[in-house]
Amino acid sequence: MLIQERLQLILKMHNLTPSAFADKLGVQRSNVSHVISGRNKPSLDFLEKIILNFPRVNAHWLLTGQMSTNPEVKQETKKVEEDVVKRKVISESNNESIVKIVEFYQDGTFKEYLPK
């Protein structure tokens, strides 16, 4: 998975437009546009801002596209997955509708499920 695909996934997961993402990071909108289009590679400063502003984004995955084999990172990933399940249960009990479900795999791939 390319860095621009990982960034697009972060945008989708946080329901952000590229402009809102740039504003949140404190970078120029054109910077985000050029990275997402593949024209430019992200700078270390750009990646650092993502990691600081989105603490649940796995830094190893962001940089390499692969999930870390570090046991502490795996534990944190498990906590995030459990949190997603809890949110799903809560949203269903509140009669809120689910927009989408995303499954992430250790090889860096993912699947999206949209309700019918």
92-114 pLDDT, tens digit each: 555 566 777 888 877 777 777 77
Q: In the prediction, which pLDDT does 18 show?
A: 94
Q: In the prediction, which pLDDT does 75 show?
A: 66
**What residues in the chain have per-residue pLDDT under 50?**
none
Task: Judge whether 22 and 46 are in contact, CB under 8 Å.
Answer: no
Alpha-carbon distance values, 16 to 10, 13, 35, 63 (Å)? 8, 8, 16, 20
Q: What is the pTM of this model?
A: 0.59
Q: In the prediction, which pLDDT does 40 show?
A: 94
- DSSP-derived letter for residue 95 is T
CATH for the 3-64 domain, from 1.20.140.10, 3.40.50.720, 1.10.260.40, 3.90.550.10: 1.10.260.40
Domain ranges of the chain: 3-64, 71-113
